[in-house]
Amino acid sequence: MPSTYTPIATTTVGTATPNITFSSIPSTYTDLILIGNIAQTSATAYQGYVYTNLGGTNSNTYLKGNGSAAASGRYTGGVGSYFAIDGVTNSASTFGTLICHIMNYANTTTYKTNLIRYSEAGKDVEASVGLFGSTSAITSVSVGMQVSNIAVGSTFTLYGVKSA
Amino acid sequence: MIGSLIGIIASSGGAVGGDYESIATVTVGSGGASSVVFSSIPSTYKHLQIRYISRTASTNANPEGDLLLVYGDPHAGNGYSHLLYGTGSTAAATNSGASSYSQYASYTTTASQTSSVFAAGILDVLDYSNTNKLKTWRTLGGWDANGSGFISLSSGIHNDTNAITSIGFGMNSGANFAQYSSFALYGIKG
C-alpha cells in the first residue's frame, strides 16, 4: 500500500512574529495536517487563527472546556479559524499543541472544512470545525495572532496525506 | 434517486509502504450512495484511521444536520456510543442507548445547509485486529456553514473480540450520501 503522511515543510520561530506561512503547497496530497507547538507574546489571552490563500467566507464552531465548565461558540466573518492561546504571564514557557486538519484542500468542487484540536495546560482544551468558504484550491496555509505575536521557540510542521 | 451501495475490497494490491499507509478510498458519484463500505480489511496493521468529507441528500432541517453512523463486522452484539458536542451556543452530550449495531460518528451537512459545504471527520480504531479486546471507535467531526455548525467528539464500542474486517458508514436518516462525499481508509503499523 502506498505510504503517506509526508512532511512538506517545517519552521521554528526565531524572532517573535505576527504570523508564519507555508506557501506553494503542492496539490498532490488529499489532506493537509498542520502541527504546531505555539505560544504568544502577550500577558493577555488572545486568539490565534489558521488561515489560507482563499477568500470567501471563513468561520468556525468550537467546543471547549476549561477544567470546570464546557462551552461552545462560533466565530464568523473572520479571516480564518480561531483558537484561544493563554497569556504568557499565566503560562510562562508553556507551549500549546495545535493540530489542524484541512480536508481535501486541493479540490476545486467543494468548500474546505478543517478540524482543529488545541490544548494548553492552564487554559482550555478545545476542538473546532472551520470553513474556508471557497471552491478554489488551497496553496498556502498560515498561522497568525489576532493582536500579539507568535513567541520565539514556537514550531510548525506541515504534512501531506494522500489517499489511494 | 436510487441509492447504491458502494463497497471496495481493501485488500487490493499495492506497493510495500511505510508506517502510515493508504489502503482504499471511496468517492461518491453523481448517483449518490446509501452506504460506504470498506471490506476485506487486511489484519496486518496495528490501527486504522478513516478520514472523510461528507454531505447527504437529506432535506431535513435539523440544525445539527444528519447523523453519520459507523458499523464494523464481524460483530457479536450491539454496542453503545457517546457524543460530546457543541452547537455554537450550547455544549452538551448524548448517547445512542444500549442497543445499537451502528455507532455515532459525527454530524453531516444536508441539502438544507449551504451548497458546497461538506462536513469532515477523522475516525480512529486502535488495535482493530486484536482478538483479545473489544474495539473502541473515536471520531472528531463536524461542519460549519458560517452562522450554523456542529462540532463533536464521539466514542463507541464495537462489541466483538474478532478482528474487524469490514467498516461501513450510513446515515441515521437513511438518506444517501451526496456526490463528492469521500472516505479514505489508512492503516498504521506498529
What does the pLDDT look like over B6-35, one tens digit per residue? Answer: 554 444 333 334 699 999 999 999 999 999
Q: What is the pLDDT of residue B13?
A: 35
Q: Give the closest of A4, A70, A77 to B22, CB-based.
A: A4
Mutant choice from A61, A66, A119, A159 vs B, greatest count of B C-beta within 10 A: A61
Distance from CA of A114 to the nearest CA of B (A): 7
CA A144 to chain centre: 9
Which of these, B25, B42, B3, lies nearest to B171 by C-alpha position? B3
CB contact under 8 A, A59 and B91: no
Residue A77 or A93, more confident: A77
Length of chain B (residues): 190
Give the H or E element holding residue A81: strand A81-85
pLDDT at B155 over 50: yes
For the entire predicted model, the pTM comes to 0.93
Cα torsion at B105, B171, B179, B37 (round to 10°)?
Answer: 70
Q: CA–CA separation, B30 vs B35, rounded Å?
A: 14
User: Please, which pLDDT band fits residue B109 given cuts at 50, 70 and 90?
Assistant: very high
How far, in Å, CA of A19 to CA of B125, rounded? 35
pLDDT for res A1: 72
- Grid coordinates of B38: 470498506
Helix residue spans in A31-128 (DSSP H): none
- Which of the 8 DSSP states describes residue A80? S
pLDDT band at B118 (very low <50, low <70, confident <90, very high): very high
pLDDT (mean) for A106-135:
94
The mean per-residue pLDDT over the stretch A105-117 comes to 97
Taking only the tens place, the pLDDT of each residue in A129-160 is 999 999 999 999 999 999 999 999 999 999 99
The ipTM estimated for the assembled molecules is: 0.95
pLDDT number for residue B73: 93
d(CA B134, CA A10): 38
- Looking at the partner chain, which of B20, B85, B120 has a beta carbon nearest the beta carbon of A3? B20
Q: Identify which of B86, B76, B52 has the alpha carbon closest to the alpha carbon of residue B185.
A: B52
Does A53 have pLDDT greater than 50?
A: yes
User: CA A102, CA B51: separation in Å to the nearest integer?
Assistant: 11
Rounded to an integer, the average pLDDT of A110-130 is: 94
| C-alpha distance from B90 to closest chain A C-alpha (Å) | 5
Q: Determine the residue of chain A that is closest to B23 in CA distance.
A: A1
Whether A43 and chain B come into contact, CB under 8 Å, resolves to: no
- pLDDT greater than 70 at residue A100: yes
